[in-house]
Amino acid sequence: MRPADKDGAAVVHSAAVKVEGVSKSYSVRDGDDVLALDRVDLDIAPGSFVAVVGPSGCGKSTLLSLLAGLTPLSSGRLTIDGQDVTKPHPKAGVVFQSDLLLYWRSILDNVLLPIEIKKLDRAAYVDRARDLLDQVGLQGFDGKFPFELSGGMRQRAAICRALIQEPGLLLMDEPFGALDALTREQMIMDLQTMWLRLRNTVLFITHGIDEAVFLADRVIVMSPRPGRVDLDLTIDIPRPRRWSGVHESASFQHYVREVREIFEAKGVLVAH
Ligand SMILES: Nc1ncnc2c1ncn2[C@@H]1O[C@H](COP(=O)(O)OP(=O)(O)OP(=O)(O)O)[C@@H](O)[C@H]1O
Ligand SMILES: [Mg+2]
């Protein structure tokens, strides 16, 4: 069973993330190295929800991959709870830009993959995996294979896989980018509900200014490549945030405008 506090809320040990002067360049076979990130600083308090927005190619997935321990950095320092990130952190759950489900495993077996990798007791997590699938509207699909699901359904299964252990750090790379508008709205609301219950640390990467402002405590705006932090905006909108109330509010529109203005100033968006 998941530990619970006296109000029945889950107790997750949320992670602190520190990114200090991190640069990343990729060597390219026939040409100059590509500098993807240039001296990025980011300090994320445990239990906060931070969204990163930036134009295509500015290094958002690179930043996530560094934090996930999947790519080595070129310079600077990256820590989770004070420990240098050199390999995937046991506390981190990752949702990638594409679902990356294993086609030969059923949906249930895909969701349980992190449990098997960590050699935990699989049977103890089966009910939880089914609950998660139910919560995202995938009841009855546990025995199906990825090819039998739509793109949006596969992405929802991938989110369940990241949540199976209620990670203290949830790294999400444009998780809703491929979803239709209705499913996306539902997933945004569900993510807020999950986070209000767990209060884990979330780093949420997106192209969508509106979903960043709606979900996050802080929105980090990155410059075009090489990615740097252009703006660190605190979003002061009370929670729980309701979809239409918030989207219609003056403060929400003000924050969205602030981010757009940065993109316009950088030529990422043309004002019209
Ligand atoms: N493995 C790699 N080898 C060489 N260059 C890479 C590699 N991965 C990323 N890049 C380059 O680094 C830059 C940043 O890529 P990244 O995928 O981090 O951008 P992004 O902000 O996630 O873009 P998008 O919004 O389109 O997903 C791009 O110029 C990309 O071409
Ligand atoms: Mg990306």
**Residue 259, SS3 per DSSP:** helix
Q: How much is the pLDDT for 79?
A: 97
Say how far apart CA 228 and CA 33 lie, in whole Å. Answer: 17
Residue from 161, 201, 184 nearest 19 by CA: 201
Sketch the domain layout of the chain as residue ranges. 1-91+171-272, 100-166
User: What residue's CA is closest to ligand 1, atom 25?
Assistant: 56
Atom of ligand 1 nearest to the CA of 222: 21
- Whether the CB of 36 sits within 6 Å of ligand 1: yes
Give the model confidence (pLDDT) of 43-88 as tens digits: 999 999 999 999 999 999 999 999 999 999 999 999 999 999 999 8
Mutate to test the pocket of ligand 1, among 28, 56, 61 (most ligand atoms within 8 A of CB): 61
Give the model confidence (pLDDT) of 186-204 as tens digits: 889 989 998 998 899 999 9
pTM of the model: 0.92
| Fold that domain 1-91+171-272 belongs to in CATH | Rossmann fold (3.40.50)
**Residues 217 and 235: beta-carbon distance below 8 Å:** yes
**Residues 136 and 33: beta-carbon distance below 8 Å:** no
Q: How much is the pLDDT for 26?
A: 96
Q: How much is the pLDDT for 229?
A: 95
